[in-house]
Chains A and B, each alone.
Chain A
């Protein structure tokens, strides 16, 4: 997604967070603060039905009684939830077509390096049929700007639109599935999201349809003093397949901004959902000033027999990451997978991992987690594998490795294993090492610069995860690691 990637060590060292610019655009923002009135106002702006407004208000009332979780291995000053503005959108009515989209916004996406062929599509120009096609839903602060390829997808019966649109066009599906995987009281941040969620993507793939292209959402925080609270809901009906990609960036600011999203995935019989994330929120500067607090609840449920959900994530951004994409394996013979690369540098903190809950028979899960810590950062894997009494012949394999670069960083592993089933097999392995001198020596001996050598070694370390990523993302991800590691060696 970015086209100006450094190729030499000199470039790498001078490289900064390229997505850190601010788009100068008139924004309509709600005043800071959270109250029933604010929630009603967000709901009113989106012309939501009564039941959804009530749903939000109920979440708000419950959130007010909840306590912020403190168990994660991260440290940050208390967040003043009344100082955040819960809605920000570019001024004016929602554009009906791309021609009406503010050119400044289009330039923003161009600058962020969303591939040009997509830009052609955004501009309505025919693209070459040989190119792989990716449909994009672009979410800017609290609203979705546009969704591409809607018509092509419609021919196949696939619904891909912004969440607000889905509430209007497919209320039955939204009502049926919203909160069915992540209940509104699931946790503190999920409850907050349920009260104030603004936009996000909605995907429905009908029975037996293999989604003809990759779907993707690009999240961008732009406005100041706001948080982003999007909600994504993906439903794969019987025998369908969908691959969904998510990318995110934000401007460089000295303040911390909150991103508390909820993602719900539902896979029915024989369906497969592949969800990939390249998370590149602004991580703060080298002294830990600024950056995004990424407190996200992501969960999928393999509701049907033989269904399959796979999470792949590359986490390089955010000042703090608190995120556990999980799978509930309810259907017999269902499969859950989690592949993750989490890189922290400077003062970044990450507490991330997954939960695999085996309920159905013969369910299988695989967890591959690679953590890389550099600078003064702290990187923790936290996972849970639970074998319920009904999970006959269930199987889990977990491997989580940590790589340390520099003597000031920290790496932690907290894997919970709970087995209540004799024939369930759970295996967990973890290692923590640093980049070995032997490996470095070998690269140096062959004339490879130290920084390049480290990034090669790191790329090799992450290979198991990268090969799960869709092609375009894999390239993006490995380049992103190089950028994030800049200055970490020496």
Chain B
């Protein structure tokens, strides 16, 4: 077999990746994890060529390097980690992304920065992209990511003691969008993610967080406000593979019109991960009868000395809360709006997030 280099990562052999894809079972329609979202539509979108390529994101301040996979100070990291962090043996879509990607780049924090946390932006793009993020030991980094109807696979590594804050903003799009994010969190490092989403024709977010080091901290929050016929599918897996780590997951969603919200949150605790503390919560409010909510909080636990919980609810606005506001002279419509805003404000910590979700900024920080 004659080798053929992958466009964005020439050290990888495209033929070999194609072979892996052929050997891997394609996701089955109407079965987990594609029970409620059409995998066909996502595959079709991947098959359609994207022509647009963007400028590399500009770096904001010092302490961070952004460049393609061949750039100096990046190439050795890229060779080591691209296609290694996302477990491509199971994720066919990530492998396809690698073959089709028109653009690939890395964001690397400099080693141990004492100055203010550097901020890097990942701009919106509807192309097919591959991104590697590396947070060096004891370094800090903040990423602000915008998604917009593209296909993006992010691989992220947080080395010991590193801290990453990741804000993901998902505005309205009429496209089919697929995002895959895999984060490896090493010892005593922390990963904090916030994801704010509004409508899309079809938006699928696959998030896998692997806790590989002792004492790591993971905090993931998310909010969505869906209207019309939008479709949002979030699949989150937090894999505890080291002891003494903590993880918190909290998602609030408001679903109206004929929109569909799908959430699958899985906490996995390996046998070698005792003293784990992991909690997951997903609350949903439906504001119309056409809205559909499908949620599945999963626990898969192989260690005994752990404290884990999850909770999920789905319901409508609390009539008592509305009554309380009405007795204070607030009209019905406004009362409902206020309660929904408050419900979402619980998970919003960021002004841009508040803007996307359409809640008034002054309520930010209600958590």
Contact = CB atoms under 8 A, between A and B. Distances in A.
Contacts of B302: 409-410
A421 B297 CA distance: 20
Contacts of B303: 404, 407
A358 to B, nearest CB: 12
Interface in A417-447: 417-434
Interface size class, chain A: 35 or more
Contact of A415 (B286, B296, B307, B308): B296
A388 B297 CA distance: 20
A406 interface: yes
A405 interface: yes
Interface string A55-93: 000000000000000010000000000000000000000
Contacts of B316: 422-423, 425
Contacts of B296: 414-417
B294 interface: yes
A426 B313 contact: yes
B304 A419 contact: no
Interface residues of B, number: 35
B314 to A, nearest CB: 4
A415 B301 contact: no
B297 to A, nearest CB: 7
Interface string B255-291: 0000000000000000100100000000010111101
B251 to A, nearest CB: 13
B299 interface: yes
Contacts of B284: 419
B311 interface: yes
A22 to B, nearest CB: 36
A210 B314 CA distance: 37
B315 interface: yes
Contacts of B310: 413, 428-430
Contact of A433 (B297, B307, B313, B315): B307
A39 to B, nearest CB: 31
A431 B286 CA distance: 26
Contacts of B47: none
Given A425-B314, A426-B313, A431-B308, A412 B299 contact: yes
A413 B304 contact: no
A24 B300 CA distance: 44
A417 B295 contact: yes
Interface string B310-351: 111111100000000000000000000000000000000000
Contacts of A431: 308-309
Interface in A330-371: none
B256 to A, nearest CB: 9
B294 A412 contact: no
A35 B209 CA distance: 50
A260 interface: no
- Max chain B CB contacts within 10 Å: which of A71, A387, A415? A415
A425 B286 CA distance: 10
A65 B213 CA distance: 48
Given A412-B301, A417-B294, A432-B308, A422 B287 contact: yes
Contact of A420 (B292, B295, B298): B292
Contact of B301 (A389, A404, A428): A404
A428 B298 contact: no
B293 A419 contact: yes
A429 B311 contact: yes
Contacts of A404: 301, 303-304, 306
A411 interface: yes
A422 B291 contact: yes
A430 B274 CA distance: 19
A389 B289 contact: yes
A402 B286 contact: no
B298 A417 contact: no
A344 to B, nearest CB: 13
Nearest to A396: B314
B93 to A, nearest CB: 21
A434 B304 contact: yes
Nearest to A405: B304
Nearest to A383: B296
Nearest to A389: B289
B18 interface: no
B305 interface: yes
B314 A419 contact: yes
A355 to B, nearest CB: 13
A6 to B, nearest CB: 25
Contacts of A433: 306-308
Interface string B194-221: 0000000000000000000000000000
Contacts of B311: 427-430
Contact of A411 (B301, B305, B307): B301
Contacts of B298: 412-415
Contacts of B291: 420, 422
A216 B314 CA distance: 38
A360 to B, nearest CB: 16
Given A420-B292, A427-B313, A428-B312, A407 B286 contact: no
B185 to A, nearest CB: 21
Given A406-B304, A430-B297, A415 B292 contact: no
B301 A417 contact: no
A354 to B, nearest CB: 15
A173 B314 CA distance: 40
A420 B312 CA distance: 15
A426 B315 contact: yes
Nearest to A431: B309
A421 B316 CA distance: 9
Contact of A418 (B274, B292, B299, B313): B292
A18 B316 CA distance: 52
A388 to B, nearest CB: 11
Interface string A92-128: 0000000000000000000000000000000000000
B299 A428 contact: no
A410 B300 CA distance: 8
Contacts of A417: 293-296, 312, 314
Nearest to A417: B295
B315 A425 contact: yes
A238 B102 CA distance: 68
A422 B306 contact: no
Contacts of B306: 404, 432-434
Contacts of B297: 413, 415, 428, 430
A-B pairs, top 7 by smallest CB distance, nearest first, are A404-B304, A425-B315, A413-B299, A419-B314, A422-B286, A432-B308, A434-B304
26 contacts: A71-B31, A71-B32, A389-B289, A402-B299, A404-B303, A404-B306, A406-B304, A407-B274, A409-B302, A413-B297, A415-B312, A419-B293, A421-B289, A422-B288, A423-B316, A424-B314, A425-B314, A425-B315, A426-B313, A426-B315, A428-B310, A428-B313, A429-B311, A430-B310, A430-B311, A431-B308
Given A407-B303, A414-B296, A418-B293, 4 more contacts: A404-B304, A407-B305, A425-B314, A426-B315
